Chains A and B, each alone.
Chain A
Amino acid sequence: MDLSLSTRSEGDRTVVVVGGEIDVYTAPKLREQLIDLVSAGNYHIVVDMESVEFLDSTGLGVLVGGLKRVRAHDGSLRLVCTQERILKIFRITGLTKVFPIHSSVDEAVAATD
């Protein structure tokens, strides 16, 4: 499955729903999406990864890039993920300390700290 992306607003948060596989081939599409959102003034982003089937370090790099961009505007980038196979790579790379990872979109949207 290729990468699928859709965005919606929930209050002052922008939710990006990502599905499929994020790898060296598809990651540029996600990077462009995040850059476009930040350029358009969306600085509080929730990335819903519940439908992601595969993620490698190329995808992680894009998420970290997105985090740096929103932080430059005092924004936030939160992840929604409960899939063990996806969470594993966040743990291996130590990125669980960098990203707030939530178990539902509602929880991520409501989070303020």
Chain B
Amino acid sequence: MPTVTVSFTPLPAHVRTARFIAASVARRAGVPETVLDEVRLAVSEACSLAVRLHRASAPEVPVELRMVEDDKKFRIQVVDAVPRARPTEDDVYAALSIGDDDGVALASAEGAVDLQARERIGLAVITGLVDEVDVEYLANGTVVAMAWPLELAEREEASSLPSMGG
């Protein structure tokens, strides 16, 4: 199960680096070209959120980006070290309804003042983009896990390799 793990200091500039790495590894894994824009955007949302949270309460702790390729899926996890409560489902959907109130939720999130609103909006975008999303709120932080199906044609080379056993 090929994996790439990157940890980076929570600097806004590194979110771009995270996008590049994620897209590059996804392409190599066989994620369709048409889907790479979604991978970039989802990773950007998850990493921007993690960077904001770390800068507010754990600036010395790196954010972790994990990419895992298995038989059928390409998985990305963005791991932060800021324990917090899960936003309620209502809140996520409230963030989606910003079209009805002149974008008040987004504007209040501008400048990273309101981290909770940022989290709701970031998760709303990720949920709107990616079919398979799971956000785990743990005692030591949060894992945003996303998965994309791989094109079967791209898998032939790997499946023809001799089994390494174990």
Residues of A in contact with B (beta carbons under 8 Å apart): 21, 23-25, 28, 31, 54, 56-58, 60-62, 64-65, 67-68, 71, 85, 88-89, 92-98
A56 surroundings in chain B (CB, below 8 A): 41, 44-45, 48, 125
Contact residues in B for A31 (Cβ distance below 8 Å) = 110-111
Residues 95-132 of B, flagged 1 when their CB comes within 8 A of A and 0 if not, give 01111101100110111000000100110110011000
User: DSSP class of A's interface residues: helix, strand, loop or mixed?
Assistant: helix
Known: A54-B40, A93-B98. A67 touches B125 (CB 8 A): no
Known: A93-B96, A94-B98, A98-B99. A25 touches B124 (CB 8 A): no
* A/B interface sample: 23 pairs, CB < 8 A: A23-B12, A23-B19, A23-B48, A24-B15, A54-B19, A54-B44, A56-B45, A57-B106, A57-B122, A57-B125, A58-B48, A61-B106, A61-B111, A64-B110, A65-B106, A68-B102, A68-B103, A71-B102, A88-B37, A93-B96, A93-B99, A95-B103, A98-B99
Contact (A94, B41) CB under 8 Å given A56-B48, A57-B122: no
Query: Please, how many angstroms separate the alpha-carbon atoms of A42 and B107 in the complex?
Result: 20
Cα distance, A85 to B99, chains bound together (Å):
19
**With A25-B12, A68-B107, A95-B98 in contact, do A85 and B37 touch (Cβ < 8 Å)?**
yes
B110: which A residues are within 8 A, CB to CB? 31, 61-62, 64-65
